[in-house]
């Protein structure tokens, strides 16, 4: 039908004995269709420009305040709410709920007689109501089956399997940033899902789309519905259903949301079981890093009870989120960032070094990783897995790696090395820095200078106008740095910078006018080299 407005509808026979209780100023909202509230949780079925028909009895069955329901319904873009009040009931709604509706500008209309079913808006109403009731019964059956799985000790893999059978769809359970936890379903559906745009190039479910990628949407390979897994008001992950042979509808999303609520039970159960052990693990790792873990043999034996192998050469890997502005209040509540990163690295470690010790501390994740000739390659692989495709919507972090050690007594020293590598690497390279302690060179000595103002003063006095925040100064600094790295080899420097030999000779003359005759003064070259490193470490005009 063509759109009409709430005001126009009030003047027709569709509504009789009606009164506007809230939202008088927005009666010009357009209406495209009528929707009916046959189940308490009707939000899934609401679409923009819906006229929602409900009853006072149904509003009484809500598990949330009526005002909260009005707010959620308004966020879906509905035009208005019609409340059918039975004649034997008091013809009033909670005043606080009406105040919320009034503040939102949501029209709320009370009627004492059911709307005219012959009106064009009422067409298909019976079918919609029947669909909602059928979905409610299916959802209850699904919920009961999944709860039985959880009570029997089942995990996400068991829920995914049962959900795939009940929904006849491929089921994917992921973390809040899209990393797979479990999957189930037909091989054809899972293959189509893997090749769809619902997953990124690393195989993660895309969760950085509008509203976190939630809801029903089509892909080039099929249709997908995604719901959030929330426990105690915290976002813990996603559950998705995918079909390649039909388009999923709102009742499919309703069923999936019921499955998500059971997944939240698994999260709560697992968190309760893991919290004590995680605290014990973290305390043990913290004691080791502070030199309070006992003798080597005792620490190694205790680590084995956690499945860790510390009776070998290990390096300390420190991972810390990079500082960012405070998140906006509208951002979804999630697990603490360090805990999320620890969980991500734990998953990545499982296939690379399952015997590595790992713990989430107050502000960082620490890994005691087995050391070999390919240690840094392993670290870079772990970072690439956790970071995902270009970082996506994931928070940036920096990584510091220590030298290897063979005794638990050495852990405090190598932990300090990892922290130094992390902090200096972040200063030198910025976000996403991965730095080995042995690669710091003279930066280690510069970091020992407590007076940072003196360092900057030395750099500015040594480099003079080359410290200016201009493109020309930056270009000349790059020329100077390359000259020093080649031991003032003009030909080699020209080749590296793709300059003509005479062009570089001209630049050397210009640099010496600014800095002095550094080409024949080794001491000045050392000063210039240190000054450049200070600028890099302090991120001065970079």
| Least confident segment among 310-314, 318-322, 442-446, 526-530 | 442-446
Rounded to 5 degrees, what are φ and ψ at 500?
A: -70, 150
Contact 198, 220 (CB under 8 A): no
pLDDT of residue 255: 84
**pLDDT per position as a tens digit, 389-414:** 544 446 889 999 999 999 999 999 99
pLDDT of residue 449: 75
Separation CA 400–CA 437 (nearest Å): 7
pLDDT of residue 108: 93
**pLDDT per position as a tens digit, 26-79:** 999 998 877 888 777 777 778 888 888 888 888 888 888 999 999 999 998 999
For residues 440-454, average pLDDT = 78
Report residue 422's pLDDT band, with 50, 70 and 90 as the boundaries. Answer: very high
| Least confident segment among 46-55, 322-331, 469-478 | 322-331
Using only the alpha carbons of the chain, give its radius of gyration.
Answer: 32
**pLDDT per position as a tens digit, 338-349:** 888 888 898 889
For residues 504-517, average pLDDT = 92
Q: What is the DSSP track for 260-290?
A: HHHHHHHHHHHHHHHHHHHHHHHHHHHHHHT
Residue 24's alpha-carbon distances to 28, 85, 112, 121, 385, in angstroms, are: 9, 19, 19, 21, 54
Separation CA 30–CA 305 (nearest Å): 65
Report residue 330's pLDDT band, with 50, 70 and 90 as the boundaries. Answer: very low
Residue 331 clears pLDDT 50, i.e. is over it: no
For residues 102-125, average pLDDT = 75
Residue 114's alpha-carbon distances to 69, 82, 122, 520, in angstroms, are: 22, 10, 11, 98
Contact 452, 460 (CB under 8 A): no
Reduced to 3 states, what is the DSSP secondary structure of residue 366? strand
Separation CA 281–CA 303 (nearest Å): 9
Separation CA 189–CA 178 (nearest Å): 18
Enclosing H/E stretch for 4:
strand 4-5
Residue 100 clears pLDDT 80, i.e. is over it: yes
Reduced to 3 states, what is the DSSP secondary structure of residue 436? strand
**Between residues 27 and 269, the one the model is more confident about:** 27
**Between residues 211 and 483, the one the model is more confident about:** 483
As a whole number, the mean pLDDT across the chain is 85
- pTM for the full predicted model: 0.51
**pLDDT per position as a tens digit, 348-369:** 898 899 999 999 998 999 999 9
| Least confident segment among 180-194, 245-259, 328-342, 468-482 | 328-342
């Amino acid at each position: 039908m063509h759109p009409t407005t709430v005001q126009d509808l009030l003047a027709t026979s569709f509504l009789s004995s009606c009164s506007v209780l809230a939202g008088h100023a927005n009666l010009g909202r357009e209406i495209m269709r009528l929707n009916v509230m046959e189940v308490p949780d009707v939000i899934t079925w609401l679409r923009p420009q819906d006229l929602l028909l409900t009853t006072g009895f149904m509003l009484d069955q809500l598990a949330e305040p009526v005002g909260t329901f009005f707010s959620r319904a308004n966020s879906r873009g509905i035009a208005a709410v019609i409340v059918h009040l039975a004649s034997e009931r008091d013809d009033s709604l909670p005043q606080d709920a009406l105040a919320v509706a009034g503040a939102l500008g949501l029209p709320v209309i009370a009627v004492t007689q059911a709307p005219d079913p012959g009106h064009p808006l009422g067409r298909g109403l019976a079918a919609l109501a029947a669909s909602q009731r059928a979905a409610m019964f299916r959802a209850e059956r699904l919920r009961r089956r999944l709860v039985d799985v959880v009570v029997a000790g089942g995990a996400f893999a068991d829920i995914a399997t049962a959900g795939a059978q009940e929904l006849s769809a491929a089921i994917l359970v992921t973390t809040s940033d899209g990393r797979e936890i479990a999957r189930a379903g037909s091989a054809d559906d899972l293959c189509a899902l893997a090749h769809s745009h619902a997953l990124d190039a690393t195989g993660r479910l895309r969760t950085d789309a509008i509203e976190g990628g939630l809801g029903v949407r089509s892909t080039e390979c099929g249709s997908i519905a995604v719901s959030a897994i929330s426990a105690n008001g915290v976002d813990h992950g996603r559950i998705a259903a995918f079909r390649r042979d039909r388009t999923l509808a709102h009742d499919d999303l309703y069923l999936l949301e019921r499955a998500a609520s059971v997944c939240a039970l698994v999260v709560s159960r697992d968190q309760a079981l893991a919290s004590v052990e995680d605290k014990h693990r973290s305390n043990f790792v913290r004691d080791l890093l502070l030199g309070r873990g006992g003798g080597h043999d005792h620490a190694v034996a205790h680590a084995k009870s956690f499945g860790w192998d510390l009776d070998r050469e290990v390096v300390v890997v420190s991972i810390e989120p990079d500082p960012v502005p405070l998140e906006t209040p509208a951002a979804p509540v999630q697990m603490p960032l360090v805990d999320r990163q620890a969980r991500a690295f734990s998953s990545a470690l499982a296939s690379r070094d399952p015997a590595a010790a790992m713990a989430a501390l107050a502000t960082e994740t620490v890994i005691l990783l087995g050391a070999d000739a390919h240690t840094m390659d392993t670290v870079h692989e772990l970072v690439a897995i956790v970071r995902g495709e270009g970082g996506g919507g994931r928070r940036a972090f920096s990584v510091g790696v220590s030298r290897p050690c063979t005794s638990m007594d050495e852990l405090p020293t190598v932990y300090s090395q990892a922290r130094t590598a992390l902090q200096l690497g972040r200063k030198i390279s910025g976000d996403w820095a991965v730095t080995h302690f042995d690669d710091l060179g003279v930066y280690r000595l510069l970091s020992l200078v407590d007076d940072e103002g003196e360092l900057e003063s030395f750099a500015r006095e040594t480099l003079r106008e080359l410290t200016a925040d201009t493109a020309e100064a930056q270009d000349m600094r790059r020329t100077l740095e390359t000259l020093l790295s080649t031991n003032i080899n003009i030909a080699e420097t020209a080749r590296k910078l793709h300059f003509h030999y005479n062009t570089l000779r001209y630049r050397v003359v210009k640099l010496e006018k600014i800095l002095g005759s550094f080409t024949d003064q080794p001491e000045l070259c050392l000063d210039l080299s240190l000054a450049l490193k200070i600028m890099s470490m302090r991120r001065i005009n970079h």
